[in-house]
Amino acid sequence: MRSDTITKGLERVPARALLYATGLSREDLGKPFIGIASSFTDLIPGHVHMRSLERAIEKGIHAGGGISFIFGVPGICDGIAMGHDGMRYSLASRDLIADIIECVVSAHCLDGLIMLTNCDKITPGMLMGIARLDIPGIVVTAGPMISGRYGKQKLSLVKDTFEAVGRRRRGEINDNELSCLEMDACPGPGSCQGLYTANTMACVSEALGMSLPRCAASLAISSEKERIAYKSGQQVVGLVRNGVTARKIMIQKAFENAIMVDMALGGSTNSCLHIPAIAKEAGIEMDLKLFDTISARTPHITSLQPGGEYLLEDLYYAGGIPAVMKRLYNDLHDCSTVSGLSIKEIAKAAEICDGDIIQTKEKAYHKEGGIAILYGNLAPDGAVVKQSAVSEKMMRFRGTAKVFDSEEVAMKAIMGSQISKGTVVVIRYEGPRGGPGMREMLAPTAALVGMGLDESVALITDGRFSGGTQGPCIGHVSPEAMIGGPIALVEDGDEITIDIPNRKLDLHVTEAVLAQRKTRWAPPKPRITRGLLARYAKCVTSADKGAVLMAD
């Protein structure tokens, strides 16, 4: 075992002495050492209940014959960080988490790892870390939050708080209603209720084969989540004994399965950043076009918020990810999973408890999957849109550009009723390098929806969007403005065409005019010049490459 490095041999007397100081016995040193990377924090509702899950995992590891060691990784709540400078740290934290896992596991020669996680960048960061290390590991996502209630109305974070800001601005609701919504939308522990980024990545983890069956959708408050945590701890010890490492699970075909399930669900556009980043750590290069290829042949079979009707609790009671995979059975690759069962064995055994929530392919909500990749002279290297959350009316749109060089300035204009119908709002210098940190922009997109402009205004950015975004919002425009991509050359009044069915994003300005504008362009001064974000800006790659950090 890897842990033999610190437990065996004359020269390891000091290491053994220190391990005994933690309470271990002599016989414990012969057992597999299993780390529990926990993102517990009092700051995030998706993580406040993790102490009980840590205990369940510990029990499972001990029952399996291993020894458990808990260590922490940082967590950022995107909902709390949204709309201000704090959001610059969110994406950067993903790679920091991967580095922390590499450091702790490698320094202490751990044999296996349980990754207790839940939120947007934490789950992919942990998967990046285990892929880099290539040791046995299992992801335990801590589960979605149940819906809130306002009278008989189901509430969720994005629809009933972020979008409520725009509804209040237009006078659709009053201050008392707004106060009730913000108090009742999030009734307790768990990741935000819809298919936003946190729950998207939980579903991706399970479809990838890195979580036990039903883990993704099982509710934060459920006893089933406790049982899954216990079983995961027990199972990882078996993976260590059998030499089943992460890269034996995370193969090319497994990533294709994960993307297929993501497209069928209509998941967050952030998966287009995270899945390639995880794949890269697993030694697999992934082109952004793969998402579009799989989406084109995968029907969208669920109607989950933000673009649809249902919440993760509804998906859970309908059968969860195994039931979704049952619908896709003939299209899935039969890959191994950490459970010991293959993907098709899990899918075949699944029960679909509600055919309205998980439709057949023939009765799909859309014939294509949730995400489309657009190209054109405005995005030569690609841009990403959640097409399942765009109305039919806005699948093709031509409008006049209104350009903003930051999210804050754009938000001020939106809330000041300065955006008229037929406008394409362009927010630039918010990419991975320009932001720095590629902030999510749920506040402006939700405000546009709340103000009733989602079917008359589009938004384009080199930044990114929350999984809670709906409407014609095009993100990840590459190359980004900070490195001189075409989005840096757009001016107020330019005509822009969005054509999602034909995968086009075009700026109606001649090449000669763009070349002339290019001669006058110079990058703005960096917003951040010290600390983590300054280092991040120097090392981060483009969004179409997953916004990963360069090795040199």
Annotated binding site: 78, 120-121, 440
Q: Which helix (H) or strand (E) holds 513?
A: helix 511-520
Please report where in the chains the tokens 């299992």 appear, as a residue: 138
Please report where in the chains the tokens 């609701």 appear, as a residue: 173
Q: Is 463 helix (H, G, I), strand (E, B) or coil?
A: coil
Q: Give backbone dihedrals phi and psi of 396, rounded to 5 degrees, phi first.
A: -125, 130
* Annotated active-site residue in 93, 211, 466, 478: 466
Residue ranges for the binding site for Mg(2+)? Answer: 78, 120-121, 440
Question: Helix, strand, coil % (nearest 5) of the chain?
Answer: 45, 15, 40
- What length is written for the chain? 552
Contacts of 406 (CB under 8 A, 6+ apart): 427, 429, 430
Yes or no: say if 47 and 118 are a contact pair by the CB < 8 Å rule.
Answer: yes
Yes or no: say if 432 and 540 are a contact pair by the CB < 8 Å rule.
Answer: yes
The answer to whether residue 466 is catalytic is: yes
Q: Give backbone dihedrals phi and psi of 433, rounded to 5 degrees, phi first.
A: -90, -40
Cα(37)–Cα(236) distance, rounded to whole angstroms? 13
Q: Is 510 helix (H, G, I), strand (E, B) or coil?
A: coil
Other C-beta atoms closer than 10 Å to the C-beta of 241 total: 16
Helical axes 122-133 vs 197-208, angle rounded to 10°: 30
Q: Annotate 95-126 with DSSP letters as a single string.
A: HHHHHHHHHHHHHHT-SEEEEEE-STTHHHHH
Cα(266)–Cα(282) distance, rounded to whole angstroms? 25
34 backbone φψ class: left, alpha, beta (φ>0; ψ -120 to 50): beta
Enzyme catalytic residues? 466
